Amino acid sequence: MDETVLIQKSQQGDMDAFEQLVLLYEKKVYTIAYKYMGNHEDASDMAQEALIKAYQSIGSFRGEAAFGTWLGRITANKCLDVLRKRQRVQVTSLDDEVELEEGSVKKELASEAATPEEHTVQQETVQYVQDMIGQMREEYRIVLVLRELEGHSYEEIASMLSCSLGTVKSRISRARNYLKEQILADKKMEGSRNSARRKKE
Amino acid sequence: MPEEKKNNLGQISDEALDALLAQWAEAEITPPAGFHEKTMERLRSLETTEKKQNGKLISLFAGRKKWMSAAAAAVLVLCCIPVVQGQLGGTGDQPVIDTLPGQTTMVEQKAAEEATETEAQQDVSVPNQAVTQAKQQAPQITNTDTSANTNQVQEQPVQQPAAENTASVQNQQPQNMIVEDTDAVANDADASAQPIAAYSMDEEQPVVSGVLQTTKTERGVIATAEQLQEDLTCYEDAIAVLTDNIETLQQKIAEYDAQLQNEPDNIELQKELDALKEELKVHQKEIENLEGLVKEVKEKLQQADTAE
Contact B292, B235 (CB under 8 A): no
What pLDDT score was predicted for residue A198? 73
In a domain, B57, yes or no: no
Torsion B300-B302-B303-B308 (CA) sign: positive
With cut-offs at 50, 70 and 90, classify the pLDDT of residue B111.
Answer: low
Nearest CA among B41, B45, B25, B35 for reference residue A25: B35
Domain limit, last residue, from B173, B198, B223 = B198
Nearest CA among B40, B38, B21, B23 for reference residue A40: B38
Domain limit, last residue, from B163, B198, B233 = B198
CA distance B41 to chain A (A): 10
Tens-place pLDDT, residues A118-169: 445 567 778 888 888 888 888 888 898 888 888 888 988 888 888 888 888 8
What pLDDT score was predicted for residue B263? 80
Q: Give backbone dihedrals phi and psi of B199, rounded to 5 degrees, phi first.
A: -90, 150
Measured in Å, how far apart are chain B's first and last C-alpha atoms?
101
In a domain, B33, yes or no: no
CA distance A81 to chain B (A): 20
Comparing A8-12, A82-86, B62-66, which segment has the lowest mean pLDDT? Answer: B62-66
B308 and B207 in a common domain: yes
What pLDDT score was predicted for residue B27? 86
Q: Number of C-alpha atoms within 13 angstroms, CB side, residue A52?
A: 18
B186 and B225 in a common domain: no
Interhelix angle A67-89/A15-37, nearest 10 degrees? 50
C-alpha A55/C-alpha A10 separation (Å) is 8
| B25–chain A Cβ distance below 8 A for any pair | yes
With cut-offs at 50, 70 and 90, classify the pLDDT of residue A24.
Answer: very high
B117 and B81 in a common domain: no
B207 and B194 in a common domain: no
Looking at residue B100, the DSSP 8-state letter turns out to be: P
What pLDDT score was predicted for residue A43? 92
What pLDDT score was predicted for residue B272? 84
The answer to whether residue B290 scores a pLDDT higher than 60 is yes
Q: Number of C-alpha atoms within 13 angstroms, CB side, residue A89?
A: 6
- Domains delineated in chain A: 3-89 (1.10.1740.10), 109-200 (1.10.10.10)
What pLDDT score was predicted for residue B212? 46
- Torsion angle in degrees (nearest 10) through CA of B75, B77, B83, B89: -140
Question: DSSP string covering B284-298, please?
Answer: HHHHHHHHHHHHHHH
B160 and B300 in a common domain: no
What pLDDT score was predicted for residue B189? 41
Domain limit, last residue, from B133, B165, B198 = B198
Contact A99, A173 (CB under 8 A): no
Which residues from B are below 8 Å from A47, CB to CB? 31, 35, 39
Q: Give backbone dihedrals phi and psi of A97, rounded to 5 degrees, phi first.
A: -95, 145
Could you list the residue range(s) of the whole structural domain that residue B130 is in?
106-198
The answer to whether residue B105 scores a pLDDT higher than 70 is no
Q: Give backbone dihedrals phi and psi of B152, rounded to 5 degrees, phi first.
A: -125, 155
B211 and B123 in a common domain: no
With cut-offs at 50, 70 and 90, classify the pLDDT of residue A49.
Answer: very high
Of residues B130 and A175, more confidence is placed in: A175
What pLDDT score was predicted for residue A195? 73
- For chain B, what percent of residues have pLDDT higher than 70? 46
C-alpha A44/C-alpha A33 separation (Å) is 8
With cut-offs at 50, 70 and 90, classify the pLDDT of residue A112.
Answer: very low
Nearest CA among B226, B220, B228, B205 for reference residue B91: B220
Question: DSSP string covering B127-175, please?
Answer: P--S-SHHHHTSPPPPHHHHHT-TT---SS-----TT--HHHHHHHPPT
Pick the residue of B9, B20, B24, B37 with the most A CBs within 10 A to test the interface with A by mutation: B24
Comparing A59-63, A113-117, B27-31, B79-83, which segment has the lowest mean pLDDT? Answer: A113-117
Pairing assessment for the beta strands A97-100 and A103-106 based on DSSP bridges: antiparallel
B289 and B268 in a common domain: yes
B232 and B288 in a common domain: yes
- Mean pLDDT over A189-196 rounds to 74
C-alpha A12/C-alpha A59 separation (Å) is 8
Tens-place pLDDT, residues B252-261: 888 888 888 8
In a domain, B45, yes or no: no
Element (H, E) at B112: helix B106-119
CB atoms A48 and B38 under 8 Å: yes
In a domain, B42, yes or no: no
With cut-offs at 50, 70 and 90, classify the pLDDT of residue B281.
Answer: confident
Contact A52, B43 (CB under 8 A): yes
C-alpha B139/C-alpha B259 separation (Å) is 88
Nearest CA among B37, B39, B43, B31 for reference residue A32: B31
C-alpha B281/C-alpha B287 separation (Å) is 10
Whole-number average pLDDT of chain A: 80
With cut-offs at 50, 70 and 90, classify the pLDDT of residue B172.
Answer: very low
CA distance A45 to chain B (A): 9
Comparing A32-36, A50-54, B281-285, which segment has the lowest mean pLDDT? Answer: B281-285
Separate counts of helices (H) and strands (E) for chain B? 12, 0
B262 and B220 in a common domain: yes
With cut-offs at 50, 70 and 90, classify the pLDDT of residue A88.
Answer: low
Tens-place pLDDT, residues B152-171: 444 444 444 444 444 444 44
With cut-offs at 50, 70 and 90, classify the pLDDT of residue B59.
Answer: low
Nearest CA among B68, B100, B86 for reference residue B245: B68
Q: How far from B283 is each of B68, B72, B202, B250, CA to CA, in Å?
A: 9, 12, 41, 11
Element (H, E) at A150: none
Number of domains in chain B: 2
Q: Number of C-alpha atoms within 13 angstroms, CB side, residue A41?
A: 0
| A149–chain B Cβ distance below 8 A for any pair | yes
In a domain, B79, yes or no: yes
> SS3 of A2, please?
coil
- Mean pLDDT over A105-117 rounds to 48
Whole-structure pTM over 0.80, yes or no? no
B298 and B155 in a common domain: no
Give me the residues of B, 44-73, that contact A with CB < 8 A. Answer: 44, 46-47
- Mean pLDDT over A84-97 rounds to 56
What pLDDT score was predicted for residue A156? 87
CB atoms B17 and A179 under 8 Å: yes
C-alpha A50/C-alpha A66 separation (Å) is 16
In a domain, B279, yes or no: yes
